Amino acid sequence: MQKYEKLEKIGEGTYGTVFKAKNKETHEIVALKRVRLDDDDEGVPSSALREICLLKELRHKNIVRLFDIMISEKKLTLVFEYCDQDLKKYFDSCQGEVDANIVKSLMYQLLRGLAFCHANNVLHRDLKPQNLLINKDGELKLGDFGLARPFGIPVRCYSAEVVTLWYRPPDVLMGAKIYTTSIDMWSAGCIFAELSNGGRPLFPGSDVDDQLRKIYKILGSPSEDTWPGMTTLPEYKDYGFHSPVSLSHVVPKLPSVGRDLLQKLLVFNPSMRMAADVAMNHQYFNDLNPSIKN
């Protein structure tokens, strides 16, 4: 730890405190995530171990880089590349207006980072603005892999206690214990709408019931025809019939081609949600700056 000089506290993560620091030898600015190891704990928290294991494997420009790991008797410190802000703070600085080209750039980078995770059999499971980091060059990076997990390994079921409520898909809200990359694609759709609305969340529910009601009120009511097996989910409830609202009222600043992409992400039936690599090729991104695509 003598190598680093702490500059300021910048936040609290899933399981620790994050500091801005400087490498005394190289003068590089880094982020230190510090995890306290309690005496009665069984060693390192599982979320920290999971994040370390996954980030050692996931090397990509749209995924935050883990540089180093230091451990002592009382604490574990992870050294990450430093990003100036997260998407939540970025929204606060924009005062409700995000330029249409920036919306497109950030969304493309989010999809590219997700496509890489999914190609490497990793579900993030906690996508939200606070976990998307943005550096001074406008590069977006997926951060906080404390709830991420590999998939493809045979398991009986996954936890339903994942993804912050506002970004949690309806199948998981209804108690689905088995899910795929579609869990992240719903969250990406919610973030896309939030980007185009300058930081206003799309479904800000207060609990699971309220969350599902808010989703139904905007997207309309699903049925067994559009989503086979819905009524057999453990927490399924009938919330009455709702007609969908036109997305032109929901995301008025998003052009029709962008609304088409959003509609393909926010699909009740998880098997019909657009995959990240397919979404990157959507015509919404046809006029994206080539330097971002490459």
For the domain that residue 11 is a member of, what is the CATH number? 3.30.200.20
Helix 256-265 vs helix 182-196: angle between axes, to the nearest 10 degrees?
150
Residue ranges making up the domain that contains 122: 85-292
Indicate the residue among 81, 108, 135 that finishes a domain. 81
Average pLDDT value for the chain: 91
pTM, entire model: 0.92
pLDDT in the model for residue 152? 63
pLDDT in the model for residue 209? 96
**Half-sphere exposure for 134 (CA within 13 Å, toward CB):** 18
Residues 69 and 98 in one domain: no
Residues 66 and 179 in one domain: no
Indicate the residue among 53, 81, 109 that finishes a domain. 81
Residues 269 and 214 in one domain: yes
Residues 119 and 179 in one domain: yes
**Catalytic site positions:** 126
Asked whether the predicted pLDDT for residue 126 surpasses 70, the reply is yes
3-class SS at 86?
strand
Residues 41 and 176 in one domain: no
Label residue 156 by pLDDT band (50, 70, 90).
very low
Residue-wise pLDDT tens digits, 237-288: 999 999 999 999 999 999 999 999 999 999 999 999 999 999 999 999 999 9
Report how far residue 60's alpha carbon sits from residue 38's, in angstroms, rounded to the nearest whole number.
Answer: 33
Indicate the residue among 66, 81, 96 that finishes a domain. 81
Asked whether the predicted pLDDT for residue 77 surpasses 60, the reply is yes
Label residue 154 by pLDDT band (50, 70, 90).
very low
For the domain that residue 274 is a member of, what is the CATH number? 1.10.510.10
As given in the structure block, the two tokens for residue 260 are: 């088409």
The total domain count for the chain is 2
Alpha helices in 1-74 (DSSP H): 46-57
